[in-house]
Amino acid sequence: MNIQRALITAASPSQRTLPLQSLIDRDGVRKTALATILDEVTAAGIEEVGVVICPGDQPAYEAAAGAHAARLRFIEQPSPLGYGHAVRCGRSFTDNAPFLLLVADHLYVSAADRGCAAQLLEVAAAEACAVSAVQPTHESKIIRYGTVGGRLVVGRPGLYEIEDLMEKPTPTEAEQHLIVPGLRAGHFLCFFGMHVLTPTVMEILEDLLRAESDPRRVPLTQALRVLAERERYLAAELQGRRFDIAEKYGLLTAQLALALEGADRAEVLAGLVELLASGRAR
């Protein structure tokens, strides 16, 4: 599977400014969250990137993209009609080919010598099918994420055949439908915010949106559930962690994770120790 294009969704009204916020990357360079995501995509070998935005946001996103701006194609979602609709807006850009899909409010810290997107593309190429990255997540947080159930692929640790999906389930719903053998008790496989998808997903979204009077009732997860019925569809645990900067303290947590993996680790640790010591002294 040859993936040449990435689609990034950034049109949610409640989260559209998150990718414009600044942080310090592993090399000690100040850049926006959007530029950090684009670094991830570029390191995976993808040069063509489409960004789904709200009308009027293009100038701000061009500025936030920095050196990446010239190679971006901006796609407007005319109205805030949900995530499934936002992905469907990118159909002309993905052009009937498989593509990498990311959300603009997640950052990634890899624990391997390759970035998380590069790891996912490698799995998709080896398996020649759609693959969603997942992360074991405590049941207290699964209400925020799409969650999958399935079984391990024989001989492939961390790779799962998807059998069911739910959008933001309750812990009770997850226990009833989304148990994955081998996970720690109270943990479920939640989406990582990164997928390699086939053109079939765009066809499914088209059909679902046409049949639904309110597009906001068509989450991407609904289309992925149909995909699992039509094609081989896998979930893969990557060597790395996702950080949802839309969460409370999410950007702070992502910043700390980047800093502790970077060149200034010792300085950051010293600062944290000093901060903790001064807090105890009070």
158-162, 186-190, 232-236, 277-281: segment of lowest average pLDDT: 277-281
Looking at residue 20, which CATH number applies to its domain?
A: 3.90.550.10
Q: How far apart are CA 59 and CA 181, in angstroms?
A: 47
Q: Is the pLDDT of residue 30 over 80?
A: yes
Please report the pLDDT score of residue 250 as a whole number: 93
Q: How many CB atoms lie within 10 A of CB 50?
A: 21
Asked if residue 36 belongs to a domain, the reply is: yes
Asked if residue 129 belongs to a domain, the reply is: yes
Domain with 208, as residue range(s), is 5-276
Asked if residue 282 belongs to a domain, the reply is: no
Asked if residue 86 belongs to a domain, the reply is: yes
Q: Is the pLDDT of residue 277 over 80?
A: yes
Q: Please give the mean pLDDT across all residues of the chain.
A: 94
Q: How far apart are CA 71 and CA 272, in angstroms?
A: 38
Please report the pLDDT score of residue 254 as a whole number: 94
Please report the pLDDT score of residue 281 as a whole number: 52
Please report the pLDDT score of residue 280 as a whole number: 61
Tally DSSP H helices, then E strands, for the chain. Answer: 10, 13
Could you give the percent of the chain with pLDDT greater than 70?
A: 99
CA angle 187–171–181, rounded 5-degree value: 40
Asked if residue 281 belongs to a domain, the reply is: no
Calculate mean pLDDT across residues 217-234.
95
Q: Is the pLDDT of residue 118 over 70?
A: yes
Please report the pLDDT score of residue 263 as a whole number: 83
Asked if residue 66 belongs to a domain, the reply is: yes
Q: Is the pLDDT of residue 282 over 70?
A: no
**What is the maximum span of the chain, computed from C-alpha positions, in angstroms?**
62
3-17, 119-133, 263-277: segment of lowest average pLDDT: 263-277
Domain count across the chain: 1
Q: How far apart are CA 131 and CA 12, in angstroms?
A: 24
117-131, 160-174, 255-269: segment of lowest average pLDDT: 255-269
pLDDT band at 264 (very low <50, low <70, confident <90, very high): confident
Asked if residue 144 belongs to a domain, the reply is: yes
Asked if residue 58 belongs to a domain, the reply is: yes
Please report the pLDDT score of residue 278 as a whole number: 83
Q: Taking the alpha carbons of 77, 231, 135, 158 in that order, is the dihedral positive or negative?
A: negative
Of 233, 194, 1, 193, which is closest to residue 98 (Cα–Cα)?
1
Flag whether the pTM goes above 0.75: yes
